Amino acid sequence: MSNGYFGRLALKWWMMLSLGIVLGLAAGLPAGGKLMPGGGRLFGLTVKGYEIRPGANLNGADLSGANLSGLDLQNIILYKANLSSANLSKSDLRVAILALANMTNADLSEANLSGTPLMEAIPKNTNLHKTNLSRANLTSVKLGGGNDLSEANLSEANLSEANLTQAELEFANLSGANLSRANLTYTKLSGANLSGADLTWVRHDGYPNLRAGDTLTRDKLPYTNWSGPPDLENANLSRANLTSAYLIAASMTRTNLTGANLTNADLKYARLSGSNLTNATLTGAILTDAYLNRVNLTNANLANADLTYASLMEGANLTNANLTNANLTGAIFKNTTMPDGSIRNQ
């Protein structure tokens, strides 16, 4: 056979192979999908009749169950949109508008939502693992109900009055975030970075687990479990503002509170053993029956604080602490370093 025949045959096979590759790629994309150099999808998609592109106005759109992963969705308007069960993982949603959007069961893991308004959005069982929410506005958002925000970036985010009940925020970055008046019932914040955060007037709806007709008495405190207080163990709260925070029975062992402002904070029954409160301000704080064993209160200001029946044992350090007018009635000391450097056992 001639060389021309073999050339035409090779060309035919090449065209078929190329078509197969294109069809194989397209099979995984919505109509109109394009590929980014790394394999991710660019904008220019049509999903459920909606054109998906940066800056698109999709107010009230029904995108439930849609696959929008890896897309460039900057400045997109999704106000009141239905995003339930949608896949938005690794998408770029910077400065998008998601206020009042329904994000139930949505996957936003590793998405970029920095600077995004999420006021009164409705996330439930939403996957926000490693999501970037820095400088996002989450005012009054209900982030509880099993939402996974572990390792998320919420630095400088506005979470004022947000409902974080049962939210999972382990090792999340909340440095400089505004959590004023947020609800921290059952919130998991162990290992989180809250340095410089505003936690003024935060609260929780916790209560002690008591049997019918039982009362919470001091002799039962060591054996009483509470339902509701947040978990702040090993968290970084250095320089955080916790003025008037309601953290009764909160779990705060080994927490970094250096330079934190806890003025008038309610820390009754709080577990602060092993925490660092060096240079912290605790003026007027309520630390009744608090566990302060092994705590470092060097240079802390405890003026007018209530330490009634607080436990300051196992090497608690009060070197140079200000105890002016502090109430130490019934406080327990054992191997405790007092402000003047003396060791007190009582």
2, burial (CB in 10 Å: exposed 0-12, middle 13-18, buried 19+): exposed
Between 231 and 293, the more confident residue is 293
Least reliable range by pLDDT among 181-185, 319-323, 325-329: 181-185
Residues in the chain: 346
Residue 224: other Cβ atoms inside 10 A: 14
User: Is 90 exceeded by the pLDDT of residue 108?
Assistant: no
Predicted pLDDT of residue 233: 87
Mean pLDDT score of the chain, rounded to an integer?
A: 79
Maximum CA pair distance of the chain? Answer: 107
| Domain ranges across the chain | 138-346
Instruction: Decide if 179 contacts 196 (C-beta within 8 A).
Output: no
User: Is 50 exceeded by the pLDDT of residue 29?
Assistant: no
User: Is 80 exceeded by the pLDDT of residue 201?
Assistant: yes
Report the DSSP beta bridge partners of residue 286: 266, 306
DSSP result, 1-43:
--HHHHHHHHHHHHHHHHHHHHHHHHTTS-BT--B-TTS-B-S
pTM to 2 decimal places: 0.73
Query: What residue has token string 């890896």?
Result: 70
Per-residue pLDDT band for 180 (boundaries 50, 70, 90) equals confident
**Which fold, 138-346?**
Pectate Lyase C-like (2.160.20)
Query: What 3-state class would DSSP assign to 305?
Result: coil
How confident is the model over 105-114, as a mean pLDDT? 86
Rounded to an integer, what is the distance from CA 53 to the centroid of its chain? 29
Tell me 338's DSSP state: P
For the chain, the distance separating the N- and C-terminal CA atoms, rounded to the nearest angstrom, is: 107
User: Is 60 exceeded by the pLDDT of residue 31?
Assistant: no
How confident is the model over 41-65, as a mean pLDDT? 85
User: Is 70 exceeded by the pLDDT of residue 33?
Assistant: no
Tell me which amino acid residue 104 is. Answer: T
Burial 110-144 (b: 16+ CB within 10 A, else e): bbbbbbbbbbbbbbbebbbbbbbbbbbbbbbbbbb
Report how far residue 85's alpha carbon sits from residue 63's, in angstroms, rounded to the nearest whole number: 9
Predicted pLDDT of residue 263: 94
Report how far residue 283's alpha carbon sits from residue 302's, in angstroms, rounded to the nearest whole number: 5
Per-residue pLDDT band for 10 (boundaries 50, 70, 90) equals very low
DSSP result, 135-178:
T-B-TT-B--SS-B-TT-B-TT-B-TT-B-TT-B-TT-B-TT-B
Q: In Å, what is the CA distance from 290 to each residue of 48, 270, 298? A: 56, 5, 17
Predicted pLDDT of residue 221: 45
pLDDT digits (tens, 9 = 90+) for 267-293: 988 999 999 999 999 999 999 999 999
Predicted pLDDT of residue 24: 36
pLDDT digits (tens, 9 = 90+) for 69-81: 999 999 999 999 9
How confident is the model over 89-106, as a mean pLDDT? 88
